[in-house]
Amino acid sequence: MRIDIITCVPDLLTSPFSHSILKRAEDKGLAKVVVHNLREYGSGKHSNVDDYAFGGGAGMVLMIEPIDSCISKLKSERNYDEVIYLSPDGELLKQNISNELSLKNNIIMLCGHYKGVDERVREHLITKEISIGDYVLSGGELAAAVLADSIIRLIPGVLNDETSALTDSFQDDLVSPPVYTRPADYNGLKVPEVLTSGHEAKIQQWRFEQAVKRTKERRPDLLKNKEE
């Protein structure tokens, strides 16, 4: 999979993809993230990419022309499955969206900044709008990093233990059960006995019961999804 991220603050996106699982995905050739500096597509002496809003009001708006130039260039090189705009008023990111996107080959992500982007970009160039939560970030970069991370870790072969993405919280509308590691007894704080029993079926049953209990306590809304 290839993800192209268009931003006017590319430095914000250098670190997230240079470490750990995302770096391993790149090293293994399973995912490639390419960050594009929108300013390289800007016009005039200062490579302008934004301008005042028609009708007045505070805040700058990203212009359609540099965005169109960048997206058109990318599209002339390969076909894209989605052009995603990260925005607080987009569709709320849930695990099922990441699951679907992890099956795609090529995705463009556009990060907004300032007051947002010219509405014609959203109407004509974007195929999907995604929000990572009901709060406003200074720009779409951190949201794009979150979205890309949630997608890339699902690509087969990216995680060492292929089953581990399937047992993540939310994959079956349940949060994850508690986990423990050595020592089994830390100053009298003991690990539940079943986990050290070696009895695989009992362990699976315990994990499922704990996941249901936790979900009831912490995210009862997820169980409602199941009933619908």
Question: In this chain, which stretch among 101-109, 127-135, 184-192, 211-219 interacts with ligand ADE, using CB under 6 A?
Answer: 127-135
Q: Which is nearer to ligand ADE, 131 or 215 (CB)?
A: 131
136 near ligand ADE, judged by CB under 6 A: yes
Q: Which of 86, 107, 110, 165 binds ligand ADE (CB under 6 A)?
A: 86
Nearest residue (beta carbon) to ligand ADE: 143
Fill in the amino acid letter for 127.
T
Question: In this chain, which stretch among 59-67, 134-142, 186-194, 205-213 interacts with ligand ADE, using CB under 6 A?
Answer: 134-142
Q: Which is nearer to ligand ADE, 61 or 143 (CB)?
A: 143
Closest contact distance (angstroms) between CB of 139 and ligand ADE is 6
Q: Which is nearer to ligand ADE, 54 or 135 (CB)?
A: 135
Nearest residue to 2 (alpha-carbon basis) of 73, 101, 98:
101
CB atoms within 10 A of CB 212: 14
Question: In this chain, which stretch among 22-30, 33-41, 133-141, 179-187 interacts with ligand ADE, using CB under 6 A?
Answer: 133-141
131 near ligand ADE, judged by CB under 6 A: yes
Which of helix, strand or coil describes residue 134?
A: coil
Fill in the amino acid letter for 46.
H
> How far apart are alpha carbons 150 and 95 in whole angstroms?
8
Q: Which of 25, 132, 151, 165 binds ligand ADE (CB under 6 A)?
A: 132
Tokens of 110: 């556009």
What sign does the dihedral 24-176-174-90 (CA atoms) show? negative
> How far apart are alpha carbons 34 and 12 in whole angstroms?
13
> How far apart are alpha carbons 83 and 48 in whole angstroms?
22
Closest contact distance (angstroms) between CB of 119 and ligand ADE is 16
12 near ligand ADE, judged by CB under 6 A: no
> How far apart are alpha carbons 158 and 162 in whole angstroms?
8
Closest contact distance (angstroms) between CB of 29 and ligand ADE is 29
Nearest residue to 217 (alpha-carbon basis) of 183, 189, 175:
175
Q: Under the rule (CB under 6 A), what is the footprint of ligand ADE?
A: 86-88, 112, 131-133, 135-137, 140, 143
